[in-house]
Amino acid sequence: MKNFSPIVNKIALSIALALTTFSCDTDTDPIDVYQVPAAIEPFVERFVQEAAARGISLNVTNLVVEIGLLTDEDEDVAGTCTNGGLTTPLIRLDTTKNWWSNGDMIREEVIFHEFGHCLLGRPHQDDVLPNGDFASIMRTKSPGLYAFYEFLDVNLSYKRDYYLSELFDEFTDPPCWIDESSALSLDFFPEFNTDGFNTPRQFLADGQDVFWISTFQNLFILNSSEVIQAVNNTNSNFQAGFGNALAVDQNGALWVANNIEGQNYIWKHDGALSFTLVYQSEQNPTLPNINISALSFDTNNRLWLATFQGELAIEKSDGTFEVFNENNSDLPAGSVPKLAPGTAGNMFILLGKSFILDPGDHQFQIFNFENASLPNQTLTNIVTDQQGNAWISSDYQLLRYKIAGNQFEALDMIDFNMPYSNITELVWDTEGNLWVATRLGLRKLIGERFSDFCSYHLGFDHWDTSTLGFDPQGRVWVSAKELIRFTQ
C-alpha cells in the first residue's frame, strides 16, 4: 500500500517502540498479581481472544500493566516490557504520547507489540515483506501498520488479521495484499462495468434454479448455455425499463418491477422467457408510480414494495395497494426503504435511521437511536435469518434484532474479525452462511467470526465490492470494478 505511506508519514505519528530487557531473577516463582488498568483491559481480552482464534491458549494471570510517564533518551517511547522470564511480566505504557490519541487500531498495535515481548517472548523484528511493508508489528519504527483514520480516509485495518497471525506465529505466510493478484479462480464479465450505468443491482436465483441479474437499465438471465442474456421485447414479452427491482415469491416465481415512461410495471416470470404483466400504475391508480426501490413477498405471499421517495405499498387481496408514507402514517420521512420479510407474515423495513417492524397489520413499530439501542446513522442493509431475526448493517457496524425479546445487539466487529469495514451488502449463501460485501472486499461469517481478509481477496482493483449474490450452483457473483464470479 504505497499510496498510504506518505499520508501516514504526513500526520507525523512518531511512535518508536522500545524494548527494555532487565536481567531476571530466576529464583523467583511466578506471582499471580494480575493488575491491568481498566483502559487496557479490553486489549488484554482481545489479545487472549485473537490467540484463542489461532489455537493458542494464553495465561495472563500474572500480567501487570502500569500507565505512567516514560522518560528515555528517545522521547518517543510508547511502552516498555520488562519480562524476567519466570517473574511477572511488567508492561509500562505512556498514554501521554500521541499513539494513545490516534485511534483504536494504533492503541491496539502498540499494546499488542508490548504483549508480543512480554507474553509471547518475541524480540524486535524489522524484516520487510516483498512490497516493502514491515513484516511484523514487532518492528522498531513506523507505526500504524493497520491503522484506521476515518477522517483521513485511510483504512489499513484489513491488514490486521495478517499482522496478528504473524505476531502469534512468525512463520505465517506473506499476506495477499503484497501484490495485486487473487488466489481465487475468477471469471470476469467486463461488460458489467461500475463506471457506467450497467452496474449490477441485484442477483437472484428463483425457485426453478434460474439465475437473474438486474441493472438499473436491464434485466438479464443466465441461460442454460451459461451465457448472460438480456431479456427484452426482442426475445420475450417483457418490456425493458428503469429500475428492475427483483423478488421471488413464495412459489419460487421471479417478479420484476420497472418503470417505463413514468409508469410502474410489475412483471411475473412464467417460465422460459415468458412474463405476465401483473400490475401497471396507469391501470391501477393505487400502485405508486415513483420508481420502486425494493420488492418483497411476506410469508403469506403478499407483495410489498417500497419507492425511492420512502413510500410503502402492500398488495391487498382485491389487487389494489394500501400505501403508507410520512403523511398518512408514523413512517419517518425521507430516504429509500429496504425490505426483508420475517418468518411469520411480518416485514422488516429500514427507512433512514429507523428500523421498522410491521407485524403484518401495518401497526408499525418504529425503532431508532432515540428509543432503542440503534446507532445514530443511516441503516443500510437488512436480511432475515432462519430464526426470523434481522441482521442490519450501518456503515462499519452489524446489528442483530432478536424478535424474541424485541432486542438489538450490536456485534463487536473486532471480536468478529471485521474491524472498520464499510459494509455495502449482506447476503445468505445457498448453505445458509452470511456473507458481507465491504469496501475492503468480501467476508464470510463462520460461526461468530468473519473469514480473514485474504480468504476471498479479489485483487487490488476489485476489493471495493457492492452487489453480492449466489447462483443455484453456489457460485459467488460480486460487483466490484466489474462483475466477477468464482466458486467458493
Q: How far is the CB of 27 from Zn ion (least distance, A)?
A: 27
Q: Which is nearer to Zn ion, 82 or 389 (CB)?
A: 82
Rounded-to-integer distance, Cα 84 and Cα 87, Å: 5
Residue 243 C-alpha from the chain's centroid? 25
Could you say whether residue 19 binds Zn ion (CB under 5 A)? yes
Could you say whether residue 90 binds Zn ion (CB under 5 A)? no
Return the number of other C-beta atoms located less than 10 Å from residue 236's C-beta.
Answer: 20
Among 84, 85, 82, 76, residue whose Cα is nearest residue 110: 76
Q: Which is nearer to Zn ion, 19 or 483 (CB)?
A: 19
Residue type present at position 308: F
Rounded-to-integer distance, Cα 132 and Cα 350, Å: 44
In a 3-state reduction of DSSP, which class is residue 108? helix
Interface size with Zn ion, residues (CB under 5 A):
2
Could you say whether residue 70 binds Zn ion (CB under 5 A)? no
Rounded-to-integer distance, Cα 212 and Cα 471, Å: 9
Residue span binding Zn ion (CB under 5 A) among the ranges 10-18, 82-90, 255-263, 297-305: 10-18
Rounded-to-integer distance, Cα 28 and Cα 370, Å: 56
Residue span binding Zn ion (CB under 5 A) among the ranges 18-26, 102-110, 396-404, 414-422: 18-26
Residue span binding Zn ion (CB under 5 A) among the ranges 14-22, 296-304, 351-359, 449-457: 14-22
Q: Which is nearer to Zn ion, 125 or 488 (CB)?
A: 125
Q: Which residue has the cell 483504512?
A: 155
Q: Which is nearer to Zn ion, 17 or 351 (CB)?
A: 17
Q: How buried is residue 329: exposed, middle or buried, by Cβ count under 10 Å (0-12/13-18/19+)? A: middle
Could you say whether residue 119 binds Zn ion (CB under 5 A)? no
Q: How far is the CB of 113 from Zn ion (least distance, A)?
A: 6
Among 17, 295, 351, 476, binds Zn ion (CB under 5 A): 17
Q: Which residue has the cell 488484554?
A: 44
Q: Nearest-CB residue to Zn ion?
A: 19
Could you say whether residue 15 binds Zn ion (CB under 5 A)? no
Q: How far is the CB of 26 from Zn ion (least distance, A)?
A: 22
Q: Which is nearer to Zn ion, 28 or 140 (CB)?
A: 140
Q: Which is nearer to Zn ion, 19 or 120 (CB)?
A: 19
Could you say whether residue 78 binds Zn ion (CB under 5 A)? no
Q: How far is the CB of 14 from Zn ion (least distance, A)?
A: 15
Q: How far is the CB of 122 from Zn ion (least distance, A)?
A: 9
Q: Which is nearer to Zn ion, 19 or 156 (CB)?
A: 19
Q: Which is nearer to Zn ion, 17 or 484 (CB)?
A: 17
Could you say whether residue 167 binds Zn ion (CB under 5 A)? no
Q: Which of positions 178-197 make contact with Zn ion (CB under 5 A)?
A: none
Instruction: Check: CB of residue 220 under 8 Å from CB of residue 232.
Output: no
Q: Which is nearer to Zn ion, 17 or 70 (CB)?
A: 17
Residue type present at position 460: F
Rounded-to-integer distance, Cα 74 and Cα 80, Å: 12
Rounded-to-integer distance, Cα 66 and Cα 79, Å: 10
Q: How far is CA 207 from CA 204, 223, 254, 256, in A?
A: 10, 15, 8, 15
Rounded-to-integer distance, Cα 303 and Cα 292, Å: 13
Residue span binding Zn ion (CB under 5 A) among the ranges 16-24, 36-44, 56-64, 297-305: 16-24
Residue span binding Zn ion (CB under 5 A) among the ranges 11-19, 196-204, 228-236, 427-435: 11-19
Q: Which residues partner with 390 through β-bridges? A: 384, 401
Residue type present at position 200: P
Q: Which is nearer to Zn ion, 145 or 245 (CB)?
A: 145
Q: Which is nearer to Zn ion, 17 or 356 (CB)?
A: 17
Tell me which H or E stretch contains 484.
Answer: strand 482-486
Q: How far is the CB of 19 from Zn ion (least distance, A)?
A: 4
Q: How far is the CB of 106 from Zn ion (least distance, A)?
A: 15
Q: How far is the CB of 117 from Zn ion (least distance, A)?
A: 6
Rounded-to-integer distance, Cα 64 and Cα 49, Å: 18
Rounded-to-integer distance, Cα 78 and Cα 220, Å: 57
DSSP 82: E
Residue span binding Zn ion (CB under 5 A) among the ranges 9-17, 83-91, 96-104, 208-216: 9-17
Q: Which residues bind Zn ion (CB under 5 A)?
A: 17, 19
